[in-house]
Amino acid sequence: MSVLVLFIFLMLIFSFVFLFKIEKGLNRWLGLMSVGSFAWALYSIFYVAKLDRFQSAPQKIFYIHVPSAWISFFAFFLVFIFSVKYLFSGRTKDDLLANSFAEVGVFFNTLVLITGPIWARPIWGVWWTWDARLTTSLILWLLYVGYLMLRSYVDEFERRARLSAILGIFAFLNVPIVHYSVLWWRTLHPAPVVIRSGGMADLPISMHIALWSSCLSVLLLFIFLVRKRFNIGELLNKF
Partner 1 sequence: MVMSKMLHLYLTVIMAIVKKDFRIELKNKEMIPLMFIFSLVVSLIFSFLDISFENIGGRNKDFYSGVFWISILFASILGFSRSTMIEKEAGGLMQYSTVPVDSSAVFFGKLIPNFIFLFLIQIFVYLFLLVFFRVQVFDRYFLLLLISSISLIGIASVGTFFSTLSAKTNLREIFLPILMFPILTPLIIASIKATSVLLNGREWGEAMDWLKLIVVYDLVSVTLASLLFEKLIEE
Q: How far is CA 191 from CA 145, 169, 196, 208, in A?
A: 27, 28, 9, 17
Q: What is the C-alpha separation between 147 and 145, in angstroms, rounded? A: 5
Return the number of the residue (59 or 83) whose C-beta is nearest partner 1: 83
Backbone angles phi, psi at 50, to 5 degrees: -75, 160
Q: Least distance (Å) from partner 1 to the CB of residue 98? A: 14
Return the number of the residue (51 or 142) whose C-beta is nearest partner 1: 142
Q: How far is CA 16 from CA 34, 72, 85, 228, in A?
A: 9, 25, 36, 17
First to last CA, the chain: 49
**Which helix (H) or strand (E) element contains residue 199?**
strand 199-200
9 touches partner 1 by CB under 8 A: no
Q: Least distance (Å) from partner 1 to the CB of residue 83? A: 10
170 touches partner 1 by CB under 8 A: yes
Backbone angles phi, psi at 200, to 5 degrees: -65, 140
Q: Least distance (Å) from partner 1 to the CB of residue 87? A: 6
Return the number of the residue (30 or 140) whose C-beta is nearest partner 1: 140
User: What one-character-per-residue DSSP string does 7-23 give?
Assistant: HHHHHHHHHHHHHHHH-
Return the number of the residue (177 or 191) whose C-beta is nearest partner 1: 177
Q: What is the C-alpha separation between 82 and 93, in angstroms, rounded? A: 9
Residue 52, SS3 per DSSP: strand
Backbone angles phi, psi at 56, to 5 degrees: 55, -140
Return the number of the residue (90 or 204) whose C-beta is nearest partner 1: 90
Q: Least distance (Å) from partner 1 to the CB of residue 129? A: 16
157 touches partner 1 by CB under 8 A: no
Q: If we measure between CA atoms, which residue out of 35, 61, 48, 36 comes closest to residue 208?
A: 48
Return the number of the residue (116 or 168) whose C-beta is nearest partner 1: 168
Q: Least distance (Å) from partner 1 to the CB of residue 239? A: 21
- Residue span binding partner 1 (CB under 8 A) among the ranges 60-68, 113-121, 136-144, 193-201: 136-144
Q: Least distance (Å) from partner 1 to the CB of residue 163? A: 6
- Interface pattern 174-203 for partner 1 (x via CB under 8 A): x--xx-xxx-xx------------------
Return the number of the residue (121 or 186) whose C-beta is nearest partner 1: 186
Backbone angles phi, psi at 187, to 5 degrees: -145, 130
Residues that bind partner 1 (CB under 8 A): 87, 135, 139, 142-143, 146, 149-150, 153-155, 159, 162-163, 165-167, 169-171, 173-174, 177-178, 180-182, 184-185
